[in-house]
A = this chain, B = another copy of it.
Amino acid sequence: MGNTFGHLFRVTTFGESHGPAVGAVIDGCPPLLSLEEQDLQKELDRRRPGQSSLTSQRREADRAEILSGVFEGRTLGTPIAVLVRNTDAKPQDYEEVRRAYRPSHADYTYQSKYGIRAWIGGGRASARETVGRVAAGAIAQKLLREHCGTQVLSYVTQVQSIKAKIDHRKIDRASVERTPIRCPDPQAAKEMIEQIDAARKDGDSLGGVVESVVRRVPPGLGEPVFDKLEADLAKALLSLPACKGFEIGSGFSGTLMTGSSHNDPFYSSDGRIHTRTNHSGGIQGGISNGETIIIRAAFKPTATILKEQETVDISGNPTTIKARGRHDPCVLPRAVPLVDAMVALVITDHFLLQSVTSHNGRGDKTYE
């Protein structure tokens, strides 16, 4: 249970980090979307390890194979199955994990829930599971681009205490990809990278914040009262490994304001209704209002560190553990494509939903 995401654009991921393969089945993708493996590969390449000194040195080509749902270069409206083989598995790195629980990992909780765990490399709890999400997210992003011109753009705004200065209206995918940390503020990026390198040398790890904006969102996305757009976004991001917090618009800092300063005044321009400020973050009453959606996600420092730590073995006896193998000193740069993927999945899902639930369905068309 729990391995499928979405109401109408439904993504089911499968795979353990050191099993034969990881992947996803995407059910609900509309027909006639032009799609090829390269569309998926672009996003998978942003996620895969070994991109820089900031990320794990595990060597995975992460080649995506589309097994179904595409015919002569276009989607059929049938399930799209995507397969990515695991190649660079090193079980020997995990002998210690077999006998003891890594602090703040899922080793203990999986063992206690399932009575068994794929102890090699974290199995299902490994970030490797997100390969399937990223493949699905690539399809969602293409769908949004072609069907409503909506764009999802995520980037790092904070690593530990270093905060970037970013005007989200002035950046694009290129300015995000310019640095290996995926922070469009070059000065902050430089400091973040230095801090991460220092942590890595120290065998330690860092956390931070990813911000995501969604531009050109059609008004009317979101299904109150429980499937509000921000509620599904919050679930999507909290389902990512290491995510500990979510904000939309003013978020926690909005609690310091008064209603009169927080409310977003409406005004009209070019025949559309806009808001002068956007403390709401593009969503009001659970439904998109057409303004840019702005959300943030907090990621804790990577649990895997090369320092000796206190823990217990599988029999509950005190022991210590020290990670070996290849790990990310900071998940932030690789978290960016994950956030892009999850946000795109939610927006796409609600784009399809509103074609049923809104009075004008797809593009201002009524039932009449």
Contacts and interface: CB of A to CB of B under 8 A. Distances in A.
Nearest to A2: B223
Contact of A27 (B4, B161, B238, B244): B4
B266 A225 contact: no
Contact of A362 (B204, B232, B283, B365): B365
Given A32-B116, A76-B124, A289 B226 contact: no
A301 B367 contact: no
Interface in A230-285: 230-239, 241, 244-252, 254-260, 262-268, 271, 273, 275-276, 279-281, 283-285
B259 A304 contact: yes
Interface residues of A, number: 159
A166 interface: no
**What is the oligomeric copy number?**
4
A246 B249 contact: no
Nearest to A332: B255
Given A4-B4, A109-B289, A244-B248, A77 B235 contact: no
B113 A4 contact: no
A19 B268 CA distance: 31
A290 B113 CA distance: 11
A56 interface: no
Given A16-B68, A199-B259, 16 more contacts: A3-B25, A3-B225, A28-B357, A71-B123, A109-B222, A110-B287, A124-B224, A125-B224, A160-B258, A205-B258, A206-B259, A209-B252, A244-B247, A244-B254, A260-B307, A267-B318
Nearest to A85: B67
A79 B8 CA distance: 19
A93 interface: no
A358 interface: yes
Nearest to A265: B310
Given A30-B367, A287-B113, A301-B262, A77 B359 contact: yes
A155 interface: no
The listed residue with most B CB atoms (<10 A of its CB), out of A1, A3, A129, A355, is: A1
A126 to B, nearest CB: 10
A15 B66 CA distance: 10
Given A106-B284, A356-B8, A123 B273 contact: no
Which of A65, A83, A252, A265 has most chain B Cβ within 10 Å?
Answer: A252
A335 to B, nearest CB: 12
